[in-house]
Chains A and B, each alone.
Chain A
Amino acid sequence: MTAPTTTTSADTATRSRSTGTRATRVIGVVTVIMMGWLVAFGLGFSPADRDQDEAVRIMYVHVPTVWVAYLALSLAAVCSAVYLFSKNHSLGFDRFAGASAEIATVFMALTLVSGMLWGRITWGVYWQWDARLTSFALLLVSTIGYLAVRGLGGSHHQRAKRSAVVMLLVVLEIPLVHWSVRWWRSLHQEATVLDTDLDPDIDGLMLFSLFVGFIAFSLLYAWLVLHRTRALAMQDMLDDEGLDRALAARRAEGAPQ
């Protein structure tokens, strides 16, 4: 993940070919190491479960992916709120929210897939229109809708304002998803770690393996969101340049010969 520097003959300005920095490179390396640990502990060193037997190993990827999805959506909502309610309406918050929502979408899809595979073992079916599964699928669709709203036309601030409002509505679904297993009868088990008494129902090597997953996926999120936020900033700059060029061309067309 090094960043070679190139210059073109047309433009002597320096252009590093990356959104990476020393910090992101360190995060990237540590993430790869932690992912290796996760595979080793998740598939090897952690024991089988008394009830679920080997199927419990899916938990070590399933729970961290949903953790990242919740984290990413929550931070996107915080940044959206800061954009909306702060005085300077910094677009940096909007870009962070957009990058975070992109990542949340991918991790929600991964959560659904690993959950379906886990469900096939424990419930005998890949999918049930259960409260948890259905509300989570609705959250995924809502987040995709948020990304679609970001893609609509208009200025950067128009985009930021309307998408921030949508994100503040989308994030309201998270408590619904989390508490759905308590509010309605559900096939899905209740929270193992983040339950009401904050007393994890697992212990020893299983809990350690799960925390390795949490750390690995949290670091991955940090790496991804830093790169994507910077990429979105560059995208906005290029959009502005393109608009300026188009306006200049249009003015030149109308100028007297």
Chain B
Amino acid sequence: MSPVVAQGAQGFVAMENATQILGSYAITFAVIGGLVAWVLRRSRQLADQIDDDDKYWT
């Protein structure tokens, strides 16, 4: 096991392996954004067809 120990902050500049590191963040947040958008759109499609009296959260 490799212990995770701080070496020293380098900030946003001069990051090695930037493609993989930034790529992992970009993919994660892009997928989450897509999921949130789909959830909201699907919820609205369904909510349009149901009266509020039948929605237990309203």
| Residues of chain A having any CB pair with chain B under 8 Å | 1, 6, 11, 13-21, 35, 39, 42-59, 61-62, 65, 103, 106, 109-110, 113-114, 117-118, 120-121, 189-190, 192, 201-206, 220, 224, 227-228, 230-231, 233-235, 237-238
Contact = CB atoms under 8 A, between A and B. Distances in A.
B15 to A, nearest CB: 5
Interface residues of B, number: 47
A49 B58 contact: no
Contacts of B18: 54
Contact of B47 (A1, A17, A50, A65): A17
A13 B52 contact: yes
Contact of B55 (A11, A113, A230, A235): A230
Interface in B32-56: 32, 35-36, 39-40, 42-44, 46-56
Nearest to A232: B46
A202 B5 contact: yes
Contact of B31 (A19, A35, A106, A231): A106
B48 A117 contact: no
Contacts of B3: 50-51, 201-202
Contacts of B1: 189-190, 201
A230 B20 contact: no
Contact of A18 (B32, B47, B56): B47
B44 to A, nearest CB: 5
A110 B27 contact: yes
Given A48-B10, A50-B5, A230 B21 contact: no
Contacts of B49: 15, 234, 238
A53 B6 CA distance: 9
Given A15-B52, A189-B2, A220-B32, A50 B7 contact: yes
Contact of A231 (B16, B25, B43): B43
Nearest to B14: A54
Given A18-B44, A48-B10, A49-B5, A114 B51 contact: no
A216 B29 CA distance: 12
A227 B8 contact: no
Contact of B4 (A52, A114, A233): A52
Contact of A16 (B24, B36, B58): B58
Nearest to A51: B2
Contacts of A235: 46
Given A234-B43, A234-B46, 5 more contacts: A18-B44, A46-B6, A49-B6, A54-B21, A58-B24
B43 to A, nearest CB: 4
